[in-house]
Structure 1
């Protein structure tokens, strides 16, 4: 994910300290002098890091960890490994380029893909489409209210923005929260649990955003918010930077899904 990247951005001295603190595993105090406009020196084309644990009841628990600006995939992997994170999968970077013959099946459409195959998905529970409510516990740093209506443009699954989980039977709620976890190398993560039929467990799909990194650009924060909410619907990654999808990995400031992402979601949910 031909390959175009964003222009290189120069760091101030304080900005360099931010990245240095991140790479060294420091704390927020290590970067206290950083300005609110601190930004990465250049695009880091980092892959997400995944943990996967099989549970005794046959369910699977997965967490998708997104590297923070300036943090490589291997650096985040090593941080998680040092903490003894269970189910950690060694990174296997995928090439990001325009393939001559992109795949086209239930799990792939052009350069878009689900994050697992068979696709993990939400149950309808008597509705025409699964009803997924993103319950926003974040502040103004992360534009959950802006990205959820965009995902709702995908047919087959309905995405709603709310501040509290409805009591209506059969709807699903995904909690989106933020906290200051310090320079742990993660911009955020999406944790989820699904059964042996690849159906999400309601209440066990959650998004956490690290506001230690909230001083990066609004466009980058919107991209990562869009990226994580896409994962919570079952979406994986888009593999071509030229498509400018928020599901492309790395520090690309693409704030929205593209038409292939929408069409793949519709295809997935039409099959169940």
Structure 2
């Protein structure tokens, strides 16, 4: 069941999170929780956590680390009041031995006492700032998931974690490109400025109309494709690492925190 998207956009975060926790909204979070930091997820056994933290530190553009749980504790106390990671994301992907085996809307039945949760900043955060200055984003206006692509840009390995950077794409008016870059630089916890503008082939994308994740967008007349580092990058790295189990967000379906999107340090202070 999915609650009305437009009504959710106007909800305070407490009501929005309650709707997601109840299973009444299971779709993407683009445009929701205006002004608040959204986060990608990677949940894994503790024995892999240090290598993954190193991977994030070595690749801060696609993996801006915003929160880490205590071992076995599903409450993300540094990211908000009463955030239970087992229930508070609209949809999760489950990887076993590197293979995506299923998606689900609640992971309480899978929770393990040795799990560590990593939260990573998300590009949805800066989209609110772009909309506020009149830069329209097709996927938000049309209630779809932003397109995401594997690239030929390699990440810096750490332990078993390695692989290509994943990027998200938005069509932007060239006349406003410099403005977009300036705005996005203000949000380093949300991937910061774009990593590439223009010809997708230069970063290894063969067909912009066939994203690896998310939904395609039309080739808007007078606009150019602009690409940002994306928090799906660790999902690709996790698949390569072939962990016995790892849980991530379903692409586009983020954790909405209580942290202001322009916070310099992502720590919740009630």
Q: TM-score, normalised by structure 1?
A: 0.24
More strand by share: 2
Q: Which has the higher contact order (CA 8 A, sep 6+)?
A: 2
Q: Which has the larger radius of gyration?
A: 1
